[in-house]
Every structure is written in structure tokens, then in C-alpha cells.
Amino acid sequence: MKPQKMLGVKQDGYAEPITIKEKQRRYGTTVDGVISKPSLMIKERQRRLNNGKL
């Protein structure tokens, strides 16, 4: 399944702020629509990948 479809947002293949916000909600991080450096969303995604729980 495509990530945007799974998140319930418009499927256009671009990581727009609405897609990023939905991922942030899903991972329980600050919802601002921006991938910061460093990014808590990316860290949480990596943690889940490492634990086999994405």
C-alpha cells in the first residue's frame, strides 16, 4: 500500500506538509509539517524500523 493512501491523504507522490503532519501524528511527535534537523519524526521512524514495528 502506498504511504499517502495509508495515511489517508491525497496521493501525489510528494512529501507535502499535510503528508508530513500525518506522519508526525502517527509517530506521536510534534505536528508542524516540517522535517527538522534533527527530526524527532525520523528518529521515531528509525526506532520503529529497528524494532520491527513500523
**Helices (runs of H) and strands (runs of E) counted in the chain:** 3, 0
In a domain, residue 46? The reply is: yes
Domain count, the chain: 1
In a domain, residue 5? The reply is: no
Which pLDDT tens digits describe the chain residue by residue (54 residues)?
477 787 777 787 777 888 899 999 999 999 999 999 999 999 999 999 999 987
Torsion, Cα of 25, 21, 34, 3 (10° steps): 100
46: containing domain: 26-54
Does the predicted model carry a pTM greater than 0.85?
no
